[in-house]
Amino acid sequence: MRTLLCIFLLGGCAATYAFTPSVNQPLEAKSDDCTVEATIGQPTRDYQEIGTLEQYNGTAPKDVDGFRRAVSRQVCEAGGDAAIGIADHTGRITSGKVIRYVGVLAEPLKKVETPTQQAMDDENPNR
């Protein structure tokens, strides 16, 4: 009985977020256990925002992994690939964006300098 009470109390402290879609056409949901990425900064890939998250219950996490665990199921249900967390003035992640990746972020290609081969000089000037 104590174990159940502890689980209930700990579960009650976990952050709960409300999801609001940002797109007119909802995306197809992914499985509940899909892989979800989370970040606090800008992702390194191009993305489309598909919804927002607002914490309304429990204690908001201060770290990205806690945020990812709290919102993973909602991100999967919304058809998203990742969540971008937004921290408040106390450092707690109280809101965020659900995103889906649409391609690789266009980064300028680094020009690879290949050494030019010097043409062999077959001409003998002493002849």
Name the residue ranges covered by the structural domains of the chain. 13-104
Tens of pLDDT, residues 42-64? 998 999 999 999 999 999 999 99
Q: Give the C-alpha separation, 88 to 95, whole Å.
A: 8
CA dihedral 73, 79, 83, 84 (to 10 degrees): -150
Confidence of residue 33 (pLDDT cuts 50, 70, 90): confident
Distances (CA, A) of 116 to 14, 15, 121: 61, 60, 15
Q: Give the C-alpha separation, 51 to 23, whole Å.
A: 7
Q: Which of 34, 27, 9, 37 is nearest to 97 (CA)?
A: 37
CA 104 from centroid of its chain's CA atoms: 13
pTM summary value: 0.70
